[in-house]
Amino acid sequence: MTRVVILAGGVGGAKFTLGVRAALARRGEPEATVVVNTGDDLWLSGVRLQPDIDSVLYALAGQNDTVRGWGRAGDTERVNTELQAWGAGWPWFTLGDLDLGTHLARTGWLRDGLTVTEVVERLAARWPTGVRMLPMTDAEVDTHVQLADGRRMHFQEWWTRHRAALAPVAFENPGIDRATPAPGVLEAIAAADVVLLAPSNPVVSIGPILAVPGVRDAVRAARRVLGVSGIIGGAVVRGMADVCLAAIGVDTRADAVAAHYGARSTGRLLDAWVMAEEDAALAPAVASLGIRPVVAPLWMTDVAASAAIADAALDAAARDR
Ligand code: GDP
Ligand code: CA
Name the phi and psi angles at 80, rounded to 5. Answer: -60, -45
Query: Could you tell me whether strands 225-228 and 33-36 are parallel, antiparallel, or unpaired per DSSP bridges?
Result: unpaired
**Would you state the pLDDT for residue 180?**
98
Task: Give the pLDDT mean for 225-229.
Answer: 98
**Residue-range domain boundaries for the chain:** 4-41+129-140+175-320
- For residue 160, CA distances in Å to 8, 120, 147, 164, 317 come to 20, 24, 15, 7, 37
* pLDDT above 80: residue 206: yes
* pLDDT above 70: residue 250: yes
**Would you state the pLDDT for residue 18?**
98
**Would you state the pLDDT for residue 172?**
98
pLDDT band at 64 (very low <50, low <70, confident <90, very high): very high
**Would you state the pLDDT for residue 321?**
64
* pLDDT above 70: residue 213: yes
Contact predicate 73/64, CB 8 Å: yes
Name the phi and psi angles at 8, rounded to 5. Answer: -140, 150
Tens digits of residue pLDDT in 110-141: 999 999 999 999 999 999 999 999 999 999 99
- Best substitution site from 238, 250, 277, 295 to test ligand 1's pocket, by max atoms within 8 Å of Cβ? 238
Tens digits of residue pLDDT in 136-169: 999 999 999 999 999 999 999 999 999 999 999 9
Task: Give the pLDDT mean for 184-197.
Answer: 98
Contact predicate 96/80, CB 8 Å: yes
Ligand 1 first shell, C-beta below 6 A = 8-13, 52, 55, 198-201, 205, 229-230, 232, 236-239, 241, 298-300
**Would you state the pLDDT for residue 238?**
78
Mean pLDDT of the chain: 97
**Would you state the pLDDT for residue 7?**
99
* pLDDT above 70: residue 101: yes
Q: What is the pTM of this model?
A: 0.98
Fold of 4-41+129-140+175-320: Rossmann fold (3.40.50)
Task: Give the number of other Cβ atoms within 10 Å of residue 262's Cβ.
Answer: 16
**CA 68–ligand 2 middle distance (angstroms):** 15
